[in-house]
Amino acid sequence: MLSLVVILILSYLVGSIPGSVWVGQLMYGIDVRRYGSGNAGATNVFRVLGWKAGILATVVDLGKGLLAAGVIATLRIDDLPSGFAYWHIETVVRLMAGIAAVLGHMFPVWAGFRGGKGVNTSAGVLLALTPVTTLITAAVFVVVLLISRYVSLASIVAAIAFPSTVAIRKYVFGIESLDASLLVFGVVLAVIVIWAHRSNIRRLLSGTENRVRTFRPARG
């Protein structure tokens, strides 16, 4: 179990790297959490600081998930059981590492435990595990975003779309290589991401949510 604990701690620490906060502070001298939606996420960096900073924050957040689930979780695991009856232990460890990274992103030890909503970091985790399902989910995100111009709504729908797509691909199209643990952890990630969007849901319901309008800096 020691290596699992080490993997989870490392993943949490990597997930805690506050890309959005550091991009704002180091490159522009501001804390994005004091502007726009107040969220320490790439969407708010796009909104407050423009597309260059937004892309950088997106890459950092995606990279954290990829690093945790794609690299850290593959560190030598020599003290774990060889597998469960229905789930592959390697996939489960990668998903656990991914969730540790997402929780790090949301509650970053390096930034006062005030982080983002975990969408890009989740996407990085899932990209490392099932790229095709993740790209289908990303397409759903883009379609909802283009139609609604709400990033939050697109994120919530994508969070639901991922486990749904796993289920359809696995049980309707019979893609055996998709581990059932992806479905279970996909639901867990969806619950985490939707919970993180509770203030957005309130704004969506009251008609006051921010729509994507422009990529020009709109600080304040």
Q: Which two tokens stand for residue 64?
A: 């954290």
Exactly one of 11, 16, 20, 37 binds ligand G3P (CB under 6 A); that residue is 37
Q: Is 116 helix (H, G, I), strand (E, B) or coil?
A: coil
Distance in angstroms (rounded) separating the CA atoms of residues 109 and 201? 26
Out of 16, 20, 39, 121, the only residue in the binding site for ligand G3P (CB under 6 A) is: 39
Non-local CB neighbours of 41 within 8 Å, separated by 6+ positions: 20, 57, 61, 115, 116, 117, 119, 120
How many chain residues touch ligand G3P (CB under 6 A)?
Answer: 12
Stretch that binds ligand G3P, among 23-31, 35-43, 89-97, 128-136 (CB under 6 A): 35-43
CA gap 103, 114 in Å, rounded: 11
Nearer to ligand G3P, 7 or 23 (CB): 23
Alpha-carbon distance of 82 to 99, in angstroms, equals 21
Q: Binding of ligand G3P at residue 44 (CB under 6 A)? A: yes
Shortest gap between Cβ of 186 and ligand G3P (angstroms)?
17
Interacting residues with ligand G3P between 189 and 218 (CB under 6 A): 200, 210
- CA 55, 218, 200, 13 torsion-angle sign: positive
Q: Which stretch binds ligand G3P (CB under 6 A): 39-47, 49-57, 105-113, 135-143?
A: 39-47
Write down the residue that tokens 């993997």 correspond to.
7
Q: Does 53 bind ligand G3P (CB under 6 A)?
A: no
Contact 122, 98 (CB under 8 A): yes
- How far is C-alpha 121 from the geometric centre of its chain's CA atoms? 3
Which of residues 94, 105, 117, 169 is near ligand G3P by CB under 6 A? 117
The least distance separating ligand G3P from the CB of residue 174, rounded to whole angstroms, comes to 33
Spatial contact of 115 and 107, defined as CB atoms under 8 Å apart: yes
Site string for ligand G3P, 118-157 (x = CB under 6 A): -x-------------------------------xx--x--
What whole-number distance in Å separates Cα of residue 128 and Cα of residue 209?
31
Does 186 contact ligand G3P by CB under 6 A? Answer: no
Candidates 33-41, 79-87, 101-109, 137-145: pick the segment binding ligand G3P (CB under 6 A).
33-41
Name residue, tokens 């656990």. 96
Residues binding ligand G3P (CB under 6 A): 37, 39, 41, 43-44, 117, 119, 151-152, 155, 200, 210
